[in-house]
Amino acid sequence: MISTMRRAAAVSAFALRATVALPAAGVRAGQFDGSKPFLCSMTTIMECDGSGQCERRTHEAASAPTFLRFDVGTHVLTAGENRRTTFRSTRLDGRLILQGGENGRGWSATINEESGQLAAAVVDDDFTFSIFGACTMP
C-alpha cells in the first residue's frame, strides 16, 4: 500500500509548463502516442483521505464519468457532453503523460503508448483519487 501511495504521489506531482515532446529518431511510437484522439474507461477508483485511509469507489460515488476522451492535438479532455478541460502533455519512455487542473484540484495521467493502460491521480488538499483503467481507439 505504501509503495502504491508513493507512486500516486509521484504521478500527481507535475510541471505546469510541460510541452509535447517529440519521439527520438528511430523510436517507434505506439497507437496511444497522442497523434490521434482516444477514449479511456476507468476500471478502478480508490479514494484516500489525509489520514491514509483508502476506499474503493464506484463511478457514481466518485462523481466520475464512465468514459474520458483525450484529444492531445487540441489539448482537450472531454467527459460526457458538457464537461471539458484543457491539459498539457509530454511523452517519456513509452508513456504519454497528461496533466491539468481545475476547481482547486490537480490531476495527472500516464498512458502506456503500446497497451493503452491508464494510471491517474486527482489531488485535492485533503483527499486523492487513484484511478486505473484502459484506453482504446474510437
Is 30 within a domain? no
Residue 105 covered by a domain = yes
DSSP run (H or E) holding 9: helix 2-12
* Rg of the chain taking only CA atoms, in angstroms: 15
Residue 19 in domain: no
Cα angle 34, 37, 41; round to 5: 100
| Residues near 8 by beta carbon (within 8 Å), at least 6 away in sequence | 48, 121, 128, 130
pTM: 0.75
Give the model confidence (pLDDT) of 108-121 as tens digits: 999 999 999 999 99
Task: Look up the domain containing 10 and give its range.
Answer: 2-14+41-136
Q: With respect to residue 61, please indicate whether it lies within any of the assigned structural domains.
A: yes
Judge whether 29 lies within some domain.
Answer: no
Residue 25 domain flag: no
**Domains identified in the chain, total number:** 1
Closest CA to 13 of 111, 123, 94, 113: 123
**Is residue 73 one of the residues assigned to a domain?**
yes
Kindly report, residue by residue over 45-98, the tens digit of the pLDDT.
Answer: 999 999 999 999 987 887 888 899 999 999 999 998 889 999 999 999 999 999
